[in-house]
Amino acid sequence: MAEQPRTIERFCKGDHVVYWGDAIRVLDDHIADSTVQLIFADPPYNIGKRFAGFVDKWPTDADYAKWCYRWLDLCVKKLTPNGSMYVMASTQCMPYLDLYLRERMCVLSRIVWHYDSSGVQARGYFGSAYEPILFCVKDSENYTFNAHDVLIRAKTGAERRLIDYRKSVPAMYSTDKVPGNAWYFPRVRYRMPEYENHPSQKPEALLERMVRASSNPGDTILDPFAGTFTASAVARRLGRATIGIELQEEFVKVGLRRLQIQDRLNGELLRPLDKKYIRRNANGRKRVSTKERTLFED
């Protein structure tokens, strides 16, 4: 658990707000009830990851669950009556959140985000290659779901496009489908333009599906544990208003830059990562080059 900063700082430009502070305090004191159409919550995982000055481990699972219930209650209050929430958690801790949330919201989907595993793989058990996501709505009779904005091409196994003869005029089968609840997206890699220096940055493509499906342009999207502000960056690109909350200064700086709110913090110029790439020349020798990127490059 982290030391709490004494004050909360708010930065804003147009429809985009960044809070530097503790999520529970910001939600409680700064966000009006029933004002947010979509929340994406990706809290610390309670597995001992290090986030800048923060070690992500609570003394017991029960302590972690108690802390989660406090911000979950606040999130439910901040949602509009037709609002939706996506919650991520470690596979170990998700059952606590699922049992709690199903009493307070309607859980429509239990999504699995699975990904490539190029890292060290466990040898003594089946290593983790997915993260669970709960998709919940406040009112199952009244919520936003833009199915047409998230269609994917289904794999039929057929070489040629199939014809549906059951129709009065035979037509091609529609191969566009709403995705099921197993989502494949590659993890964010160093060489990807969106990469920031954070141990659990989520891919923009993952967030894009949630934002497109569960909000409309002009809606407000809130991310209480913003990290690199992926949800805000995607929502901004898709014409939504955003609120992101983050405790760690290093990541607040990423958010201010990524959302183009300001290019300095306390006099420090907020530069994008200066990435070093290892390339091989014709002789197979390693050559290190730096890709220069301009400030505020999208």
Ligand X SMILES: C[S@@+](CC[C@H](N)C(=O)[O-])C[C@H]1O[C@@H](n2cnc3c(N)ncnc32)[C@H](O)[C@@H]1O
The residues facing 246 across adjacent strands are: 20
Is residue 220 part of the contact set for ligand X (CB under 6 A)?
A: no
Residue 11 or residue 139: which is nearer to ligand X going by CB? 11
Q: Which of 132, 227, 244, 255 binds ligand X (CB under 6 A)?
A: 227
φ and ψ of 67, to 5 deg: -65, -40
Q: Which two tokens stand for residue 166?
A: 């059951």
Binding part of the chain for ligand X, among 42-50, 97-105, 115-123, 285-293 by CB under 6 A, reads 42-50
Residues 95-114 touching ligand X, rule: CB under 6 A, are none
Q: Which two tokens stand for residue 56?
A: 């992500």
Is residue 54 part of the contact set for ligand X (CB under 6 A)?
A: yes
Cα–Cα–Cα angle for 275, 277, 281, rounded to 5 degrees: 155
**In 3-state terms, what secondary structure has residue 29?**
helix
The residues facing 137 across adjacent strands are: 84, 106
Q: Which two tokens stand for residue 18?
A: 């960044």
Binding-site size, ligand X (CB under 6 A): 21
SS (H, E, C) 130-151: EEEEEEEECCCCCCCCCHHHCC
Binding part of the chain for ligand X, among 142-150, 159-167, 221-229, 234-242 by CB under 6 A, reads 221-229
Under 8 Å between Cβ of 245 and 26: yes
Question: What does DSSP say about strands 220-223 and 36-41: parallel, antiparallel, or unpaired?
Answer: parallel
Q: Which residues contact 155 (CB under 8 A, 6 or more apart)?
A: none
Is residue 83 part of the contact set for ligand X (CB under 6 A)?
A: no
Is residue 200 part of the contact set for ligand X (CB under 6 A)?
A: yes
What is the rounded CA–CA span in Å between residue 73 and residue 67? 10
Residue 3 or residue 292: which is nearer to ligand X going by CB? 3
Binding part of the chain for ligand X, among 123-131, 147-155, 222-230, 284-292 by CB under 6 A, reads 222-230
What is the rounded CA–CA span in Å between residue 102 and residue 254? 34
Is residue 253 part of the contact set for ligand X (CB under 6 A)?
A: no
Q: Which of 23, 94, 101, 234 binds ligand X (CB under 6 A)?
A: 23
What is the rounded CA–CA span in Å between residue 216 and residue 12? 21
Residue 200 or residue 220: which is nearer to ligand X going by CB? 200
What is the rounded CA–CA span in Å between residue 132 and residue 114? 9
What is the rounded CA–CA span in Å between residue 252 and residue 248? 6
Is residue 248 part of the contact set for ligand X (CB under 6 A)?
A: yes
Smallest distance, ligand X to C-beta of residue 22, A = 4
**In 3-state terms, what secondary structure has residue 213?**
helix
Smallest distance, ligand X to C-beta of residue 21, A = 7
Smallest distance, ligand X to C-beta of residue 262, A = 19
Q: Which of 16, 138, 202, 240 binds ligand X (CB under 6 A)?
A: 202
Residue 29 or residue 292: which is nearer to ligand X going by CB? 29
Smallest distance, ligand X to C-beta of residue 147, A = 25
Using Cβ positions, the residue closest to ligand X within the complex turns out to be: 227
Residue 71 or residue 143: which is nearer to ligand X going by CB? 71
Smallest distance, ligand X to C-beta of residue 236, A = 14
The binding site for ligand X (CB under 6 A) comprises: 2, 22-23, 42-44, 51, 54, 198, 200-202, 225, 227-228, 230, 245-248, 251
